[in-house]
Chains A and B, each alone.
Chain A
Amino acid sequence: MSVRVLVQQAAFDTGAETARLSSLSDHIGGMGLFIGQVRGGDGLLSLTLEHYPGMTETILNQLAQEGMQRFSLLGCTVIHRVGRLKVGEPIVLVGTAAAHRGAALSATSFLIDRLKTGAPFWKKEEFANGHAAWVDAREEDEHAAATWGQMPPSSS
């Protein structure tokens, strides 16, 4: 299967994931990779990621399929972690494989931009002083997602 979508608590193995992608086809000429991690600062200790089980996997699969078609990908992987993640820990991996770099890089941007505002995940920040707060959606993230056009109507 050329699309791989996982929602998990455990860390992912970036080396193993890129090796898997690169071995999918002899026609692959380039791969795109994005890894999001917990950014520190202002006394942040950790993020806790909540999700909507079931719907999250469905949306990520739809997004991955859309990316496959739109950019003629030969493979794509989306792995998103949930639970409590400390500063510096990886949160999300988006990997794409295509014949040429343009498609791979664009598809990687497309997938992460759309995922941030379109898949049911929510982040809660926890600070060293004991304060905790849910992260507000950022307008720039919504603009980034919108630059790729509207989500197509669901087929079912």
Chain B
Amino acid sequence: MTGHVNILYFAALREQLGRESQQVPLSANGQSVADLLRVLRQHDAMLDEVFAATPRIRVAVNQKLGGFDTCVQPGDELAFFPPMTGG
């Protein structure tokens, strides 16, 4: 085991998943956000369904907008959310 990351969901994602956060174990070193998400979706049918149905999901790593190729470290805070609609 190489530690955990905390995942946050916002707006429509949070609502459809029925959860605002979850702790997830990292299964390998050097995983990207995309790698982690692939594993999560394989084990969580609801997450897979919601992510498949939501276009243009954004990710932030440690509260910074990033790409799905961003490397994930133990203790990181990940957030997934739809495109932002402020103002």
- Residues of A bordering B, CB below 8 Å: 36, 49-52, 54-55, 58, 80, 91-92, 112, 115-124, 134-138, 141-142, 154
Contact = CB atoms under 8 A, between A and B. Distances in A.
Range of interface residues on chain B?
10 to 19
B87 A36 contact: yes
Contacts of B84: 116-122, 137
Given A137-B82, A154-B64, A52 B10 contact: yes
Contacts of B11: 50, 122, 124, 134
Nearest to A112: B87
B79 interface: yes
B63 interface: yes
Contacts of A137: 56, 82-85
Contacts of B15: 134
A interface, over-half SS: mixed
Given A52-B63, A55-B60, A58-B63, A123 B8 contact: no
Interface of B: 8, 10-12, 15, 56, 60, 63-64, 79, 81-87
Contacts of A55: 60, 63-64, 79
A112 B8 CA distance: 26
A121 B87 contact: yes
Contacts of A36: 87
Contacts of A49: 86
A120 B87 contact: no
Nearest to B12: A134
List the 8 shortest-distance A-B pairs measured between CB atoms, nearest first.
Answer: A121-B86, A137-B83, A122-B11, A116-B87, A55-B63, A134-B12, A135-B85, A123-B85
18 contacts: A55-B63, A55-B64, A55-B79, A91-B87, A112-B87, A115-B86, A116-B86, A117-B83, A117-B84, A120-B60, A121-B84, A121-B85, A122-B86, A123-B85, A124-B11, A134-B15, A134-B82, A136-B85
Contacts of A134: 11-12, 15, 82, 85
Contacts of A112: 87
Contacts of A115: 86-87
Nearest to B56: A137
Given A134-B82, A137-B56, A50 B10 contact: yes
